[in-house]
């Protein structure tokens, strides 16, 4: 990255809380939002999931539910601002990955999804706003684009994040058929749902900045969890190396990691291979946070969640060090990494 990009705020709707503060408090307290529900197929079979508590009128359909979650998180992240600032704000959203044929898009076509979210927020945003396929890692991959938008198109700020739900009949059936669900598979994932957005700015203004992103790396893994081969970690290793390939912090400076790891054997083995090849400096302990232990696998929303949690740890001074590495994977194979530093240490 040419220069750091600052995290100024965040908004979230997750199974652990209906705001960023509630979600972060639950993660810090090591609470679990897991519950057991009966499946439609096979009928009545129990399955552990992480659902957002909400009135049924907000969840009349899968599409409406994603739009409602996203709008709430976006409005929280944006806060109370002058309408002119909102119009100069770009919204970059990662929805559920296209290969999943998410049932939300049966009601709201993917091409209309962003417009539906913007309409639900009741605000107007910059015309450069986009919805980008690619899942959780795509959120981090858009950070450099966010910086370019602010420098070249006069954008005031960028809201970056995602919305997703794996708690639907289609995804549950797909994951169950592949033997990837927690239950029959002790190392399976817990399907979750959430919307998480972070507010990015170029530098300190009238409001305090929370944390700075100094470097981002992005790479595509060919041996995905959807293939018949285990990953050798080449893409994640490339993303990590690229993230520190600049004037910011380097590998020896990294004090802790925030990962969107979901507990699956596939991802555990991938990181078992990757981390010793990247983190070569001797450490007594590499502190690592796994938010999925509280909120489950929240798909496309989990990339922004790692940024939000890292920024909060710097703001409230409970980070185990000065530099964090966010490690994010997408189900379709995209890998991303981002180096973050507390704003007070920049």
Annotate 155-184 with b (16+ C-beta within 10 A) or e (fewer). bbbbbbbbbbbbbbeebbebbbeeebbbee
pLDDT for 332 equals: 94
What residues are paired with 211 via a beta bridge?
7, 342
pLDDT for 204 equals: 64
Report the length, in residues, of the chain: 346
pTM (predicted TM-score):
0.95
pLDDT for 210 equals: 80
pLDDT for 234 equals: 96
pLDDT for 346 equals: 47
pLDDT in tens, the chain (346 residues): 888 999 999 999 999 999 999 999 999 999 999 999 988 777 888 999 999 998 888 888 999 999 999 999 999 999 877 777 888 999 999 999 999 999 999 999 999 999 999 999 999 999 999 999 999 999 999 999 999 999 998 899 999 999 999 999 999 999 999 999 998 788 999 999 999 999 999 876 666 778 999 999 999 999 999 998 999 999 999 999 999 998 889 999 999 999 999 999 999 999 999 999 999 999 988 999 999 999 999 999 999 999 999 999 999 999 999 999 999 999 999 999 999 998 765 4
Cα–Cα distance list, 67 to 48, 133, 143, 169 (Å): 24, 16, 23, 18
What is the C-alpha to C-alpha distance for residues 191 and 337, in angstroms, rounded to an integer? Answer: 23
What is the C-alpha to C-alpha distance for residues 295 and 274, in angstroms, rounded to an integer? Answer: 25
| CATH architecture of residue range(s) 5-201 | 3-Layer(aba) Sandwich (3.40)
Q: How many CB atoms lie within 10 A of CB 95?
A: 27
CB 307 within 8 A of CB 143: no
What is the topology classification, in CATH, of domain 214-345? Answer: Peroxisomal Thiolase; Chain A, domain 1 (3.40.47)
Domains 5-201 and 214-345 share a fold: yes
Domain residue extents for the chain: 5-201, 214-345
Cα 318–Cα 71–Cα 203 angle in degrees, nearest 5: 50
pLDDT for 82 equals: 74
Question: Mapping DSSP to helix (H, G, I), strand (E, B) and coil, where does residue 339 land?
Answer: strand
pLDDT for 207 equals: 65
What is the C-alpha to C-alpha distance for residues 12 and 217, in angstroms, rounded to an integer? Answer: 24
């Amino acid at each position: 990255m040419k220069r750091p990009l600052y995290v100024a705020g965040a908004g979230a709707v997750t199974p652990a809380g209906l705001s960023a503060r509630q979600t972060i408090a639950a993660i810090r307290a090591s609470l679990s939002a897991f519950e057991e529900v009966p499946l439609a197929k096979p009928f009545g079979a129990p399955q552990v999931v992480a659902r957002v508590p909400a009135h049924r009128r907000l969840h009349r359909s899968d599409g409406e539910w994603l739009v409602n979650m996203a709008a709430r998180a976006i409005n929280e992240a944006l806060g109370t601002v002058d309408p002119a600032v909102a119009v100069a704000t770009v919204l970059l959203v990662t929805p559920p990955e296209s290969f999943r044929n998410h049932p939300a898009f049966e009601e709201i076509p993917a091409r209309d999804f962003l417009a539906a979210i913007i309409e639900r927020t009741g605000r107007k945003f910059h015309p450069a706003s986009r919805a980008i396929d690619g899942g959780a890692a795509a959120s981090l991959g858009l950070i450099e684009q966010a910086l370019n938008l602010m420098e070249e198109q006069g954008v005031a700020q960028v809201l970056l994040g995602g919305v997703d739900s794996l708690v639907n009949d289609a995804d549950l059936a797909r994951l169950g058929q592949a033997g990837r669900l927690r239950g029959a598979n002790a190392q399976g994932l817990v399907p979750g749902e959430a919307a998480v957005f972070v507010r990015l700015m170029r530098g300190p203004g009238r409001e305090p900045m929370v944390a700075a992103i100094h470097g981002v790396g992005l790479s595509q893994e060919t041996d995905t969890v959807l293939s018949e081969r285990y990953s050798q970690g080449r893409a994640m290793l490339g993303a990590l190396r690229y993230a520190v390939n600049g004037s910011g912090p380097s590998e020896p400076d990294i004090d802790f990691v925030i990962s969107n790891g979901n507990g699956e054997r596939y991802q555990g083995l991938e990181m078992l291979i990757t981390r010793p090849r990247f983190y070569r400096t001797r450490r007594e302990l590499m502190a690592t946070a796994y938010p999925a232990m509280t909120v489950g696998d929240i798909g496309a929303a989990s990339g922004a969640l790692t940024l939000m949690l890292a920024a909060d740890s710097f703001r409230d001074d409970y980070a185990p060090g000065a530099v964090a590495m966010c490690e994010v994977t997408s189900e379709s194979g995209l890998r991303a990494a981002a180096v973050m530093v507390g704003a007070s240490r920049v």
